[in-house]
Amino acid sequence: MGRGKIVIKRIDDSTSRQVTFSKRRKGLIKKAKELSILCDAEVGLIIFSNTDKLYDFASSSMKSAIERFNKTKMEQQQLLNPASEVMFWQREAATLRQELYSLQENHRRQLMGEQLNGLSVNDLHKIESTLEMSLRGIRMKKEQMLTDEIKELTKKRNLIHDENVELSRKVQRIHQENVVLHKKAYATSSKNGLGLGELEDAADESHAQVRLQLSQPEQSCYDSPSKS
């Protein structure tokens, strides 16, 4: 006669229950190994006894099996509920933003000489090198800005100088024209019987109203700031 069908229910006798647990546990682990080998399947088996004792088996590693299980379970839930996928990525993005902010804030404080506890000598050397590179970049930018400002001022100065030279030439021409007019007026006055003194007084009074005194600035050179 064959064995009778066993009723699946809790075994009341603690000794029998423990013996059954030990036998079936070993058989279950054996079948899990066979399944992973025969079917090239990734198997993860976790068993807790009624005394909270842990038994486990994994064909690769338990961590890998659990991570794969969580990922697959989450993907299945997202397929069933597309809105949950959006919420998931929103939470992921918020978490990444917070982590990035924390890293940037920690890096900023370390560059300011704060929160250096726990850093090794190598870490401090890297921070020091970063600061030196930053200072070199800042100095180069400052020198470039000063050089550009000096070039711009030199350009404006040259324009003003050229304008001043041109105005001086115009004044010189006006002065020469006044001299010519003065001579012509003197010749005419001689014919009309006017005295030379009266003519010169009139000419001086007229010249005093229009005479311009301009001085040409001396040429000067601007040197670029020496690099610090």
Q: Report the distance separating Cα 195 and Cα 199, nearest Å.
A: 6
> Which pLDDT score, from 0 to 100, does residue 151 have?
94
Q: Which two tokens stand for residue 41?
A: 């399947």
Q: Report the distance separating Cα 106 and Cα 98, nearest Å.
A: 12
pLDDT in tens, the chain (228 residues): 456 677 788 888 888 988 999 999 999 999 999 999 999 999 999 999 888 888 899 988 888 899 989 888 877 776 667 666 677 778 889 989 998 888 888 888 877 888 788 778 888 888 888 888 888 999 999 999 999 999 999 999 999 999 999 999 999 999 888 888 888 877 776 666 545 455 455 555 555 444 444 444 444 444 444 444
Contacts of 74 (CB under 8 A, 6+ apart): 88
> Which pLDDT score, from 0 to 100, does residue 167 have?
93
pTM for this entry:
0.35
